[in-house]
């Protein structure tokens, strides 16, 4: 992948502003540029389970997001899923199918790289209306608090 090649080059080529830290190969986002885009980063649910990690899963559909509706992204299949460790709330992975999945997954990759929790994401204000709001919504969905998702609990 070109992104991995660039990261490797910056750790080894003289004359460039070289990185002193080697790339974290556990946090390499992957994207398939089809229609719709498909993106992922980190662990899948089965891998986490095989490693003994009990996960919370937050799923948020494109069709529930205002920006996605404006873009015509109302297919039943478009979604973002975030996985977090149930004990620590640390993000362990994510998958996305839909418009700009590569951009959405990049934010999750940043969270993985810096060991962020889903609470770190939910406490970060995201511009409205944007597709990046899906990240906050999926993180909130993991703890039952997504505000734009049908069927969410009502809090008094």
Show Cβ contacts of residue 152 under 8 Å, excluding neighbours closer than 6 positions: 144, 145, 146
Inter-residue contact 131 to 65 (CB < 8 Å): yes
Residue with tokens 């418009």: 99
- 3 has pLDDT over 80: no
Inter-residue contact 24 to 113 (CB < 8 Å): yes
What pLDDT, on the 0 to 100 scale, is given for residue 8?
Answer: 64
What pLDDT, on the 0 to 100 scale, is given for residue 41?
Answer: 98
Q: What is the pLDDT of residues 5-60, one digit of tens each?
A: 666 666 666 556 665 667 788 899 999 999 999 999 999 999 999 999 999 999 99
Average pLDDT over residues 54-74: 88
**3-state DSSP call for residue 55?**
strand
What pLDDT, on the 0 to 100 scale, is given for residue 37?
Answer: 94
Q: Read off the pLDDT band of 120 (50, 70, 90).
A: very high
Q: So which residues are the catalytic ones?
A: 128
Average pLDDT of the chain to the nearest whole number:
86
Q: Read off the pLDDT band of 4 (50, 70, 90).
A: low
Inter-residue contact 127 to 67 (CB < 8 Å): no
Domains and CATH numbers, the chain: 27-142 (3.30.390.30)
**What is the pTM assigned to this prediction?**
0.83
Inter-residue contact 96 to 114 (CB < 8 Å): no
C-alpha 9/C-alpha 90 separation (Å) is: 30
Instruction: Please report which residue ranges of the chain form alpha helices under DSSP H.
Output: 2-10, 45-50, 66-70, 101-113, 118-122, 133-142
What pLDDT, on the 0 to 100 scale, is given for residue 156?
Answer: 44
Half-sphere exposure of 106 (CA within 13 A, CB side): 7
What pLDDT, on the 0 to 100 scale, is given for residue 38?
Answer: 97
Inter-residue contact 109 to 27 (CB < 8 Å): yes
């Amino acid at each position: 992948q070109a992104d991995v090649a660039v990261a490797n080059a910056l750790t080894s080529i003289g004359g460039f502003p070289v990185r002193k830290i080697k790339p974290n190969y556990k946090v390499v986002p992957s994207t398939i540029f089809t229609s719709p885009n498909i993106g992922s980063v980190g662990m899948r649910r089965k891998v986490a389970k095989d490693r003994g990690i009990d996960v919370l899963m937050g799923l948020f559909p494109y069709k529930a997001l205002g920006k996605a509706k404006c873009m015509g992204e109302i297919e039943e299949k478009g979604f973002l899923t975030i996985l977090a460790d149930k004990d620590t709330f640390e993000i362990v992975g994510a998958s996305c199918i839909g418009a700009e999945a590569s951009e959405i997954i990049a934010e999750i990759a940043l969270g993985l790289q810096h060991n962020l929790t889903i609470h770190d994401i939910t406490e970060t204000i995201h511009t409205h209306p944007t597709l990046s709001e899906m990240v906050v919504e999926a993180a909130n969905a993991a703890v039952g608090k997504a505000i734009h998702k049908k069927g969410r609990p009502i809090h008094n």
